[in-house]
């Protein structure tokens, strides 16, 4: 079957750096994506890794290790508006399965 | 980026009625669209893959006769919840993959909140 694991909650202070880990198990794995979802809203795409290594997009970076079936999302210079749920999602077999989500609380 | 719209954004209906939700790709063509359901504080659960010109592919445990999917054109997919019951109350979200179609980048609609009384 397909499954992803990520922490349920993370709390950090404004200006800090936080890392959200994700391990996955999926057949025909193609890549790992990250999405942000604020309460009441739809998910928005943050980043995607198909190859091993680090992808950087502004304050957000994402990492993938295919051999370890592991990835993480790194958020730097945290802002209050970053408080949201973050989902890792594995694409394989032409469909994408989402993890349970990590709720990030950013404190002042 | 690409834009996906959903209509309606909110639906309240009586138990036993059917509800149709539309998902449109506004500035690109989508031969494939995905339908997800999300209960409060839970993850997005893939319900089915909608394929233009052919039958939808349903995930295990999703009743195809209850959740009717029609991909009428390259820009429109519809999900009909037939004979809705209170347990069908949820947030329904559609998405369309970026060009290339493997689904690695998906553009999500704003979602439809369904409340069945």
pLDDT in tens, A11-34: 999 999 999 999 999 888 889 999
Kind and range of the H or E run holding B109: none
- Which residues 6+ apart lie within 8 Å of B53 measured at CB? B31, B71
- For B13-59, write each residue's pLDDT tens digit: 999 999 999 999 998 888 899 999 999 889 999 999 999 888 999 99
Q: Which residues does chain A have within 8 Å of residue B62's beta carbon, measured at their own beta carbons?
A: none
CA-to-CA distance for B61 and B59, rounded, in angstroms?
6
Average pLDDT over residues B94-107: 74
8 Å CB contact of B103 and A87? no
- Which residues 6+ apart lie within 8 Å of B61 measured at CB? none
β strands within B3-111, DSSP E: 4-7, 10-13, 19-25, 32-38, 44-51, 57-58, 67-73, 76-81, 90-97, 106-108
Q: Which residues does chain B have within 8 Å of residue A96's beta carbon, measured at their own beta carbons?
A: 34, 46, 103-104, 106
Average pLDDT over residues A35-52: 92
Radius of gyration of chain A (CA): 13
- Residue A105: strand, helix, or coil: strand
Average pLDDT over residues B67-71: 95
Strands B10-13 and B19-25: unpaired
> Is the minimum CB–CB distance between B2 and chain A shorter than 8 Å?
no
Q: Which residue in A has a C-alpha nearest to residue B3's C-alpha?
A: A44
Q: Which residue in B has a C-alpha nearest to residue A9's C-alpha?
A: B41
């Amino acid at each position: 079957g397909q499954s992803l694991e990520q922490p349920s909650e993370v709390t950090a202070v404004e200006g800090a750096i936080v890392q959200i880990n994700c391990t996955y198990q999926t057949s025909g794995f193609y890549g790992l994506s990250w999405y942000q979802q604020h309460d009441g809203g739809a998910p928005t795409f943050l980043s995607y890794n198909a190859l091993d290594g680090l992808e950087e997009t502004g304050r957000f970076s994402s990492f993938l290790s295919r051999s370890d079936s592991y990835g993480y999302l790194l958020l730097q210079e945290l802002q209050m508006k970053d408080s949201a749920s973050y989902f890792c999602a594995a694409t394989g077999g032409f469909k994408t399965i989402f993890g349970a989500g990590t709720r990030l609380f950013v404190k002042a | 980026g690409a834009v996906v719209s959903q209509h309606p954004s909110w639906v309240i209906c009586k138990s036993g009625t059917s509800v149709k939700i539309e998902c449109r790709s506004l500035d690109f063509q989508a031969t494939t669209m995905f339908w997800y359901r999300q209960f409060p504080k839970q993850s997005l659960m893939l319900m089915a893959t909608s394929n233009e010109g052919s039958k939808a592919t349903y995930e295990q445990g999703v009743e195809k006769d209850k959740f009717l999917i029609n991909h009428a054109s390259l820009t429109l997919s519809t999900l009909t919840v037939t004979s809705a019951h209170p347990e069908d109350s949820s947030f329904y979200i559609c998405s369309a993959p970026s060009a290339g179609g493997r689904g690695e980048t998906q553009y999500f609609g704003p979602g439809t909140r369904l409340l069945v009384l």
